Amino acid sequence: MLTDFAGRTAVITGAGSGFGLEVARIAMQRGMNLVLVDVQADALERTRAEAEAAGVAVLARRVDVADVAQMEALAEAVQVRFGAPHFVFNNAGVAAGGLVWENTVADWQWVLGVNLWGVIHGVRLFVPRMLAAAQADPAWRGHVVNTASMAGLLTPPNMGVYNVSKHAVVALTETLYQDLRLVTDQIGASVLCPYFVPTGIARSERNRPAALAAGAATRSQLIGQAMSEKAVSSGKVTAAEVAQKVFEAVEQDRFYVYSHPHALAAVAQRLQAIVEGRNPPDPFAERPEVGAQLRAALRSGG
């Protein structure tokens, strides 16, 4: 397991804000070389300046993680500058809501491009380099952390595109864990499943590419956006606290990382329904007033 961080290299996507920024700050404190990746230039520049002020070696790249050519160029630049990274945090993410049949092709391409393909590219480009480093040095250790969500373990309504992307990340990362166990004991894997934490994801439309621009918002999408902003902004657990949990998981070689363990009760109910062949449980069982409000809003004619 990876426990010695000083002088090691960390690749962090979505490093300009939220979990990525806070993970980068802990990595700075631990004396790691930092590869900072974000699509938002001004946010990336602020993180780069903070890292350089902390005295660590930095490679900052503006990259759209959904773009295969940009990610391949990033991986090559990391290899040239630092060699194989020891810690890869595939974290960049965006969100879109609404009733699942109302999402456009552009919605699907944007969300899956960042949330899923960004992780796929991070795994396929960096893990082979990490394996080569491990094979060359029996003392070499590495770890990959992919950011999913509690929406990767649950299926809350009115946010289907996001759910699909995050369920895929959970499945990918669980498989990565098993595949790595087949070939090495030197590289670990974890999946981060945060619940509602104040980050910039509720405003991720700010970085949506023009080629995948959103159409006119439907009522369900407007409602979903408002509910998401309210839930995220009211979160009591901070991104910095979640980043600390990420490093603890890496040090302990622990796979599942949760920001809100109490939310696992709903996961257990879902899994029990699957095992027993029952219909999916009511997602609003603990807060029926929320379900009532959402149904009334979506069924009203106004």
Identify whether 92 is part of a domain: yes
Mean pLDDT score, 180-194: 98
Identify whether 296 is part of a domain: no
- Work out how many domains the chain is built from and give that number: 1
The answer to whether 204 touches 271, Cβ cutoff 8 Å, is no
The answer to whether 35 touches 10, Cβ cutoff 8 Å, is yes
The answer to whether 133 touches 142, Cβ cutoff 8 Å, is yes
Q: Which residue has the tokens 């396929």?
A: 124
Q: Does 65 score more than 80 pLDDT?
A: yes
What is the token pair recorded at 54?
A: 């902390």
Residues 6+ apart with CB under 8 A from 204: 93, 94, 95
Kindly report, residue by residue over 76-116, the tens digit of the pLDDT: 999 999 999 999 999 999 999 999 999 999 999 999 999 99
Identify whether 282 is part of a domain: no
pTM of the model: 0.94
Kindly report, residue by residue over 16-56, the tens digit of the pLDDT: 999 999 999 999 999 999 999 999 999 999 999 999 999 99
The answer to whether 87 touches 8, Cβ cutoff 8 Å, is yes
Kindly report, residue by residue over 139-149, the tens digit of the pLDDT: 999 999 999 99
Whichever domain contains 193, its CATH number is 3.40.50.720
Identify whether 280 is part of a domain: no
Identify whether 269 is part of a domain: no
Q: Does 301 score more than 70 pLDDT?
A: no
What is the token pair recorded at 206?
A: 């700010």
Identify whether 289 is part of a domain: no
Identify whether 301 is part of a domain: no
258: containing domain: 9-263
Q: Which residue has the tokens 């993180």?
A: 47
Closest-CA residue to 38 (of 14, 21, 73, 19): 14
Please confirm, yes or no, whether 256 is among the known catalytic residues.
Answer: no
Q: Which residue has the tokens 């499945």?
A: 171
Closest-CA residue to 36 (of 56, 17, 12, 67): 12
Name the strand (E) or helix (H) holding 48: helix 41-53
Identify whether 161 is part of a domain: yes
Residue 287 has a pLDDT of 84
Question: Which of the residues 162, 177, 195, 258 is marked catalytic?
Answer: 162
